A and B are shown apart, each in its own frame.
Chain A
Amino acid sequence: MSPGARNKVAVLSFLLLVLLLVPILLPSAFHLRVAALVWISATAALGLALLMGLAGQVSLGHAGFVGIGAYATALGPKHLGLDPLASMALGTLAAGLLALLVGRPILRLKGHYLAVATLGLGILVHLVLVSEVAITGGPDGIQVPRLELFGRRLVGPELWYWITGIVLLLAAWVALNLEDSSTGRALRGLHDSEIAASVVGVDVARHKLVVFVIAAVYAALAGGLFALFNRFVTPDVAGFLRSIELVTMVVIGGMGSIAGAVVGAALLTVLPQALTLFHEYEHALLGLLIIIFMVFLRQGIVPGLAGFLARRRSA
């Protein structure tokens, strides 16, 4: 097996193992709900991990795409009488199209200019969701209808645990294949040096656009799943802090690592749940923990751990 294929099998079997073990070890409805939230966040973080880790492009507004997916799923049935699942598909498509449309001019930018442009994009989506009260329900949020499939209502934490878990597994499979494809190699190349990549014939602009659209589609998919699972969405899903949360998941887990995105998502979803015990100190502690993680585990949890294991083995 090639190293790429070996890595693929390792990451997917790790995910599958976790997916099977969680319901055995933590069978309560609350834990399954939190786990489903982790799988949803991880799906969004995966897309961002491809954009940031593989291609080296930052997005500080990625929650905007999550918001598009979530609100499409909520608004389609309400205003157009569409099926929630079809609305979710349309929302994902819409997010992909938006990324395609704005991707080219935005991805021309570098470093902090790229950061501020993506930040602006996310904030504008959030602002529309807050302001168009007649359509979106404004800051109070909006109900999402129950999903029905073949005349059966899809309810219950256990069912949603498996739906979101399987979507994550598929998303990870696609991401791993992308990493190990010619597109993946082109992206790694332009990450290291855009000039060098273009000299050897990589269409830099097109490849960046492709990964940006994929990242947007992942985010919108996660947003749609969240809407269907939570059955209520507020504009917060598209807020600046959510965008930062997604970026932090990718970085805390380990920038270049697919497994890292999942670990980061788990940490940043479970941590706030645990921190609610500290009531009013919740936000202060979250900020403090983010700083500590970033200062002491700069390369991220998964690469940090892998490096530690490799050193032990060679010692």
Chain B
Amino acid sequence: MAELVQLFFAGLTTGAVYALVALGFTLIFQASEVVNFAQGEFVMLGGMVTVFAMKAGLPLPAAALLAVLVAVATGVLLHRLAIEPAKGATVVTLIIVTIGASILIRGLAQIAFDKQFHALPAFTGDEPLRVLGAAILPQSLWVLGGAAAIVFGLWLFMERTLLGKAVRATAANRLAAELVGIDTRLVLALAFAVSAAIGAVGGILVTPITLTSYAVGTLLALKGFAAAMLGGIGNPVGAVAGGLLLGLLEAFAAGRISSTYKDGVAFIVILLVLFVLPRGLFGRRAVERV
């Protein structure tokens, strides 16, 4: 029992980070149909900028804020300098553009920071909490609480604000949104900025547990992509569910089957699911119009 609880919380914690990455994918995809493979780099920037800002003497909250700002600026620049000019290109070309961007961001991070692994101090101590015999790090609760707050905040923004409605309108039909006077370019830039902020916050929250380095973004992006597709792309609820599910499966596979193949779980699951449900768990039934 204790082991199950332990694995459950470990899985939920990593799953929350995958969920945030998948949510970032979904936001940008909804607004622009671009699959942004640079999404993992925002997580990396969140962790790395915070680490180095704290080394320079900033307190944690200020360092974290700076990290989010750096990630948002990167996201907006990515949209402005790479995605916007490539407007109208094919899906594959856009995928290559975002992968090029992720190589560029990683390359710059390697120059600006270093190639070492870095940790952050846990926000509220390292003394584990005892729950049903399992030891749970307080930082796990930060990750889960933070992820829940982001999801709730995003929901409020999308459902209750005019700007959020503009984002949803653009996602539903870009041309129609433009016709009713929505500045879709602004909406796209906003989607990149919000995605970047979400990724960066995820990176800051999880770094005390998982450590960070300039290269952590790639695998996170790939797993986040798998999570988003698992839920059915373009579906925020599916993205969060897919992320949490992947985290849990990964933790239980690592604990019970083989820790060597932990990183493969996400891809085995996505292949099996897609063989049965070609549009993901929550994807709409495909109807092709001729």
- A residues lining the B interface (CB < 8 Å): 52, 58, 60, 105-106, 108-113, 115-117, 119-121, 123-124, 127, 131, 195, 240, 244, 247-248, 251, 255, 280-291, 294-295, 298
Contacts and interface: CB of A to CB of B under 8 A. Distances in A.
A9 to B, nearest CB: 30
A307 to B, nearest CB: 16
Nearest to A286: B103
A294 B100 contact: yes
Given A131-B261, A291-B82, A298-B93, A113 B267 contact: no
A315 B274 CA distance: 51
Contacts of B105: 287
A257 B290 CA distance: 29
A101 B207 CA distance: 41
A294 B92 CA distance: 10
Given A113-B229, A117-B271, A119-B267, A248 B96 contact: yes
A297 B233 CA distance: 29
Interface in B211-229: 218, 222, 225-226, 229
14 contacts: A109-B278, A113-B274, A115-B35, A115-B95, A120-B270, A123-B263, A124-B268, A195-B288, A248-B99, A251-B92, A283-B106, A287-B103, A291-B97, A298-B90
A289 to B, nearest CB: 8
B148 interface: no
B97 A285 contact: no
Interface of B: 35, 81-82, 85-86, 89-93, 95-97, 99-108, 110-111, 218, 222, 225-226, 229, 233, 260-261, 263-264, 266-268, 270-271, 274-275, 278-280, 288, 290
A23 to B, nearest CB: 32
Contacts of A280: 110-111
B89 A298 contact: yes
A291 B104 contact: yes
A285 B108 CA distance: 9
Chain B facing A: main interface SS: helix
Given A116-B274, A119-B222, A294-B86, A58 B102 contact: no
Contact of A127 (B82, B91, B264): B264
Nearest to A111: B91
Contact of A294 (B81, B96, B260): B96
Nearest to A291: B100
Given A113-B233, A247-B92, 7 more contacts: A105-B274, A116-B270, A120-B268, A124-B264, A281-B107, A283-B103, A294-B89
Given A117-B270, A123-B264, A284 B226 contact: no
A64 to B, nearest CB: 11
A281 B96 CA distance: 20
Contacts of B99: 244, 248, 290
Contacts of A105: 274-275
B226 A120 contact: yes
Given A127-B264, A287-B101, A247 B229 contact: no
A247 to B, nearest CB: 7
B110 A283 contact: yes
A112 B95 CA distance: 10
Given A113-B278, A116-B229, A295-B82, A287 B107 contact: yes
Given A124-B268, A283-B103, A284-B111, A294 B229 contact: no
Given A109-B274, A195-B288, A127 B100 contact: no
A120 B271 contact: yes
B86 A298 contact: yes
B96 A112 contact: no
Contacts of B222: 119, 123, 240
Contacts of B110: 280, 283-284
B108 A195 contact: no
B111 A281 contact: yes
A268 to B, nearest CB: 11
Contacts of B97: 290-291, 294-295
- Would you list the 5 A-B pairs with minimal beta carbon distance, nearest first? A287-B104, A284-B107, A120-B267, A290-B100, A283-B107
Contacts of B266: 120
B108 to A, nearest CB: 5
Given A284-B111, A287-B102, A291-B104, A123 B267 contact: yes
A291 B101 contact: yes
A105 B275 CA distance: 6
A120 B271 CA distance: 7
Contacts of A112: 35, 91, 229, 233
A251 B104 contact: no
A302 to B, nearest CB: 15
Contacts of B261: 127, 131
A285 B100 CA distance: 10
Contact of A195 (B229, B233, B263, B290): B290
